[in-house]
Structures are given as structure tokens and as C-alpha cells.
Amino acid sequence: MRKIIVSMTIVALFALMALFAAPVAAQEVKRMSIEELKGMLGNPEVIILDVRSSADWKLSKVKIKGAVREDPEKADTWISKYPKDKTLVFYCA
């Protein structure tokens, strides 16, 4: 009986998470070309966040000048420090 209750609780939690995540997942994420990004470099209204995994970032020979490195696994700890009136560009590949 206890296994059934635990299983039902887990299923309910996943269903609840899906319900809250659906609006976020449905939003279109704007992608940009390298040329578009180059045109934004140096603009004080734009913050470029390098959110590649630590391993990818360390192995990469290419880093965007002026980009801020943030751990994608800890986004909930740093996302609120960026102003909502700025354009945030997330670099992940």
C-alpha cells in the first residue's frame, strides 16, 4: 500500500511540474545568427551569458569577449541578478 501511495505522489508531482512548465516550453525562443550577435557586442543594453557546461567551456578555444560565464545548473541562484530591462543573450553551443 505504501508503494502505491509513493508512486501516486511521484506521478502527481510530475504532472504538477508539467502543468507549470508548459507555458514556458510553449514560448518561442528567438535564435540569432553570428552576425546579429556581433552587431550587439559592446551594447550596454545587452548582456551575453555563456551558459555552456563547465566541460564544454573549459575545452573551448573560443570565448565571446565580454560574456559572463554562468553555471547552467545553478540558474536559479544567478538569474535574478540581471536587470529585466536588459536583453539577455544565452550562449550555449
pLDDT of residue 83: 93
pLDDT of residue 3: 52
Please give the tally of structural domains in the chain.
1
pLDDT of residue 1: 53
pLDDT along the chain (93 residues), means of 10: 49 48 59 89 93 91 91 92 92 81
pLDDT of residue 12: 46
- C-alpha 85/C-alpha 21 separation (Å) is 23
Q: Exposed, middle or buried by CB within 10 Å (0-12, 13-18, 19+), for 61?
A: exposed
Q: Who's near 82: CB < 8 A, 6+ residues apart?
A: 47, 49, 88
In a domain, 42, yes or no: yes
In a domain, 44, yes or no: yes
In a domain, 18, yes or no: no
In a domain, 10, yes or no: no
pLDDT of residue 93: 73
Task: Please give the residue range of the domain that contains residue 81.
Answer: 28-91
pLDDT of residue 27: 63
In a domain, 17, yes or no: no
